[in-house]
Chain A
Amino acid sequence: MDIIKEQDGSKLLIKIVGRLDTNSAPQLEEALFENTDGIEELVFDLAEMPYTSSAGLRVFLKAQKLMNQQGSMKVINTCADVMEVFEITGFSDIINIG
C-alpha cells in the first residue's frame, strides 16, 4: 500500500493506493498522525483502495474522532466494496462520505 499526501495550508489530502489491511493500517496511522496539528480539513481519497478490514476502519474512526475536535473530515471516491463495509459497520453514518 502507498500513501500520497498533499497538504495545502490547513487542508490535508491523503490518497490511499492499495489494500488497507491489518499489516498496512499501522503505516497509514503513522503517516496520518505525524502532522495533523493545525489541520482543519482532512480528505481521504479512496479511489484506488479496493479493500479495507477492521484495522483500516480503526484508523478512520481515530481520524474522525480527532477531526471532530479540530475541523472536518470526509472520504471521497469510495468504491462499492469498501462502501459496503462502511455501511455494514455503521461507519457511513459517522463519516462524511462524499
Chain B
Amino acid sequence: MRFIKSLRNSLSFNIISSLIILLVVFSWIVTIIGYISFSKSLEKEYDEVTYGIAQTAATLVNGDHIDAYLNGQFMEEHDQSQQWMDTLCDKMDVSIIYVIKPDKDYKHFTSVFNSVNKDTGYTPWEIGYRRNTTNEEYAQKYEQVYLKKTDREKVMRTKDLDGAPPHITSILAINNAKGDVTALMCVQRPMTVLSEGRAPYITQVTLSVLLTVILVSYMAINYLRRQFINPIHKISQEADRFARENEISNTDMLQNISKINEIKTLATSISQMELDTLKYFDDMTAALSEKQRIDTELDVAAKIQAGAVPSDFPAYPERTEFDIYASMTPAKEVGGDFYDFFAVDDDHIALVMADVSGKGIPAALFMMVTKMLIKIKCTTTGGTPAEIIEFVNDRICSNNSADMFVTIWFGILELSTGKITCVNAGHDDPVIYRKGDTFNLCIQKHGLVVGAMEGVHYTQSVIQLQKGDKLFLYTDGVPEATDKNDTLFGCERMLRALHEVREQPPKQILEHVKQTVDDFVGEAPQFDDITMLCLEYYGAQEMEKTLHIEANNDKLDEVTDFVSAYLEQKQVSLKVQMQIALAVEEIFVNIANYAYQPGSGYADVKAHFENDVLTLIFEDSGVAYNPLAKKDPDITLPADERQIGGLGIFMTKKIMDDVAYDRKDDKNILTLKKKID
C-alpha cells in the first residue's frame, strides 16, 4: 500500500499515467469517429446501388396490370417479368426482389412478384401470397411511398435479424399509366461488406492506434524522463542530500543536467542556494563566535569596572568618624556611572559621584579615565575640589575626540570637622539628612559638565555635616527610573524612600532605595545605570576616652583592653602598646591593692592622645597616697639584698616620659605621659 501511495505521489508516475490516459482517450475518439464515417459511407453506397437495382427492376413491371396479375390475368406477361427479375436478382447479388400490394392499413400485403437469390436458400412467395408486414418501420415506409410522400425509402436492418445477415431494403413506387401507385418494388440486398468489413476495420484502427499510443508513450516517456523527470529527480535528491549533510557535493551533478531552460535555472538556483546556505552558515557561526568573544570581553570589562570602584564594605572599619556604602548597577554589562571614595590623608575623604553621557563600552572607558584622573590628581599634587575638577576638565577636553562629557559631584569631607567642600559639575543635587529631621535636596551652584569646554572655572560649595547627619549621592538613573507606563520614579519617591529608612545605616538605606526603585520599575527594562552612595557622619574622632571601673585586680584585663583598644586606634606599635600595658598594670594594681583597703571603690582611667603625646590619667577616691614619693629601689644590689616592692612604679617611671601625682578634690590623680613616634 505504501508503495502504491508513494508511486501515486511520484512525479514520473503522474506525468506518464496522465499522458497514457490522454492518448488512450484521444485514440478512442479517433476510432469512434473513423468507425462512424466508415459506416456512413458504406451505407450510402449500399443505398445507391440497391436503389439503382430497384429502379431497373421497376422497369420490368407493368404497373397497369398489377390487379390483373392478382386476378390471374396476363399471366404470360407476369411470368416474363418474373423471369427477368429472377435473372436480375442472381446477377446483381441481390437477396430478394419483391413487388407487393400493401393493404390500406399497411399491416399486411399481398405478394405480386418475388425473386429469390439461389444462394440465400429462401423459398419464393407465390403470387397472391399474403403476409404480415415485418415490422412497424416497414409499414411506415410503405405508407410513405404508397401515398407518394417520398419517391423512395430504405430500411436497414442490422439488429434483430433471427440469424439473417444485415441487409438493406430499397422501396420504390410502381405506377400505372395514369401515374397512380399500384404496387411497391422492394429490393433487399445483404450488407456483407458492412458487417464483415467493420470488425477488421475496428481491429486495424484499434491496433494501429494502440501501437501509436505505445510508441508515442514510449518516446514521450523517454523524452520526459531524460529531459524532465530524471533532472528533477536528481535535483530533488541533491536537495535532499544537502539538507541531510549540509555539504557541497563533490560531483558536479547539477552541471549540464538538462537542455530545458527552466530546469537549468532550477539546478543553478539549487547549486547557488547550497553555496549561499553554506556561506550563511559560516557567517552565522563566525557572528556567533564573535558575539561570544564580545560577551566574554564584556564580562571581563564588567568585572574590571566593578573592581575599579571600591566595593569591599565596610570600607573603613577602623574609622569611627563615618560609615560609607555605595552600589552600582549598570543597565548594560558595563556602564558610564561611577562612584568613588578614597582617603586623601588621615583627616580627609574624597567622595565622587559621576555619570558619563551615553552607555556601554565608550562610556565605561570614559568613566575609567575620569576616575583615574580625579584620584591621581587628589593623591599626588592634591588641591581644592575646584582645582581638581578644573584639572580633570582640562585634561579630558584636551583629548576628547568622542565629544563625550561627564557630570560629576565631587567633595572632600574633613573628618575632624564634618565639613564637605564640594563642586557640582552638572550633576544631580545631593541629598542631606539632618539628624532628627528628614532627607532634603541640597541645592548648590552647578558648574558646566566636565569635558565640554576647556578652561572652565568651578565654584565650590560647603556642606557642614553634624554628628548623625547623612549624605546621599546618586546618578539620574534613580529619579529617572521608568515603569512600564513611562512614569518617572522622580525625586519625590526617592526622598520618600530615603525617609522611610532615615535611621538605618548607609547599607540598609541604599538597599531600601534600590528595592523601592526595582518594585516601581517592575517588568520594564532598566534604561540607565543606577548608582548610589550614602555616607553617615558620626562626628569627629574623640580625643579622650574614659573608663570608669571598680578598682579590683579582677578588672585588670578590662583596663588593659581599654587602653590597648585606644592605642590600636591610634595605630601605636605593638611594642609600645606592650610597654604602656605594663605601666597601666602597675598603676592600676597599686590602686586596687591599696587605695580602698579594706573596702572597695572605683577608679577612672582616661586616655588622651594629642600632638603625638599619649596621656593616661588614673583617678581614685581612696586614701591619699603618692606612689612617687617612695624612693626608687636600688637595682644594683645582689639578689639576696633586693626588696620585692617598688619595682612597679620604678618601671612605670622608666617606661613613661613623665609621671606626676596630684591630690585634688579628695582624689589621687596620677598622670602619665609618653611621646609616641
Q: A22-B589, A58-B647 known; A50 and B642 CB under 8 Å? A: no
Q: Return chain B residues, CB-CB under 8 Å to A62.
A: 644
Q: Return chain B residues, CB-CB under 8 Å to A54.
A: 586, 647-648, 651
Please tell me if A34 contacts chain B, counting CB pairs below 8 Å: no
Q: Which of A51, A61, A68, A91 contacts B582 (CB 8 A)?
A: A51
A89 touches B640 (CB 8 A): no
Per-residue interface assignment for chain B, residues 541 to 569, with 1 indicating a CB less than 8 Å from any chain A CB and 0 otherwise: 00000000000011011000000000000
Bound form: Cα–Cα A68–B638 in Å = 11
Per-residue interface assignment for chain B, residues 581 to 617, with 1 indicating a CB less than 8 Å from any chain A CB and 0 otherwise: 1100110010000000000000000000000000000
Please tell me if A85 contacts chain B, counting CB pairs below 8 Å: yes
Bound form: Cα–Cα A65–B642 in Å = 9
Please tell me if A57 contacts chain B, counting CB pairs below 8 Å: yes
Q: A61-B644, A89-B647 known; A53 and B639 CB under 8 Å? A: no
Bound form: Cα–Cα A65–B639 in Å = 6
| Interface Cβ pair total, 8 Å cutoff | 61
Bound form: Cα–Cα A88–B586 in Å = 15
B318 to chain A, nearest CB (A): 23
Among A61, A88, A93, the most chain B Cβ lie within 10 Å of the Cβ of: A88
Bound form: Cα–Cα A58–B578 in Å = 19
Q: Return chain A residues, CB-CB under 8 Å to B586.
A: 53-54
Please tell me if A23 contacts chain B, counting CB pairs below 8 Å: yes
Please tell me if A55 contacts chain B, counting CB pairs below 8 Å: yes
> Which B-chain residue is minimally distant from A95 (CB atoms)?
B639
Give the number of chain A interface residues (Cβ < 8 Å): 25
Please tell me if A64 contacts chain B, counting CB pairs below 8 Å: yes
A59 to chain B, nearest CB (A): 10
A23 touches B554 (CB 8 A): yes
Q: Return chain B residues, CB-CB under 8 Å to A81.
A: 575, 578-579
Bound form: Cα–Cα A91–B640 in Å = 12
Residues 40 to 85 of chain A near chain B (Cβ within 8 Å): 50-51, 53-55, 57-58, 61-62, 64-65, 68, 81, 84-85
Q: Return chain A residues, CB-CB under 8 Å to B647.
A: 54, 57-58, 89
Please tell me if A98 contacts chain B, counting CB pairs below 8 Å: no
> Which B-chain residue is minimally distant from A53 (CB atoms)?
B585
Among B556, B578, B581, B589, the most chain A Cβ lie within 10 Å of the Cβ of: B578
A82 to chain B, nearest CB (A): 9
Q: Return chain B residues, CB-CB under 8 Å to A93.
A: 635-636
Bound form: Cα–Cα A85–B581 in Å = 12
Bound form: Cα–Cα A21–B558 in Å = 13
Please tell me if A9 contacts chain B, counting CB pairs below 8 Å: no
B654 touches A88 (CB 8 A): yes
Please tell me if A94 contacts chain B, counting CB pairs below 8 Å: yes
A85 touches B582 (CB 8 A): yes
> Which B-chain residue is minimally distant from A79 (CB atoms)?
B578
Please tell me if B138 contacts chain A, counting CB pairs below 8 Å: no
B366 to chain A, nearest CB (A): 54
B585 touches A89 (CB 8 A): no
Please tell me if B650 contacts chain A, counting CB pairs below 8 Å: yes
Q: Return chain A residues, CB-CB under 8 Å to B648.
A: 53-55
> Which A-chain residue is minimally distant from B592 (CB atoms)?
A22
Q: Return chain A residues, CB-CB under 8 Å to B556.
A: 21-23
> Which B-chain residue is minimally distant from A24 (CB atoms)?
B556
Bound form: Cα–Cα A62–B640 in Å = 9
Bound form: Cα–Cα A94–B639 in Å = 6
B329 to chain A, nearest CB (A): 49
B639 touches A22 (CB 8 A): no
Bound form: Cα–Cα A62–B647 in Å = 14
B553 touches A68 (CB 8 A): no
Q: Return chain B residues, CB-CB under 8 Å to A53.
A: 582, 585-586, 589, 648, 651
A93 to chain B, nearest CB (A): 7
Q: Return chain B residues, CB-CB under 8 Å to A88.
A: 650-651, 654-655
B654 touches A90 (CB 8 A): no
Q: Which of B553, B636, B638, B651 contacts A23 (CB 8 A)?
A: B553
> Which A-chain residue is minimally distant from B575 (CB atoms)?
A81
Q: Return chain B residues, CB-CB under 8 Å to A94.
A: 638-639, 642
Nearest 6 Cβ contacts at the A-B interface: A90-B635, A54-B648, A94-B639, A54-B647, A22-B589, A64-B639
Q: Which residues of A are interface residues toward B (Cβ below 8 A)?
A: 21-23, 50-51, 53-55, 57-58, 61-62, 64-65, 68, 81, 84-85, 88-91, 93-95
Given contacts A61-B644, A85-B651, A93-B635, 8 further A-B contacts (CB under 8 A): A53-B586, A53-B651, A65-B640, A81-B575, A81-B579, A88-B650, A94-B638, A95-B639
29 A-B pairs, CB-CB below 8 angstroms? Answer: A21-B556, A22-B553, A22-B585, A23-B553, A23-B557, A51-B578, A51-B581, A53-B585, A53-B586, A53-B648, A53-B651, A54-B586, A54-B648, A54-B651, A55-B589, A58-B647, A61-B639, A65-B640, A68-B640, A81-B578, A84-B579, A89-B635, A89-B647, A89-B651, A90-B635, A90-B636, A94-B638, A94-B642, A95-B639
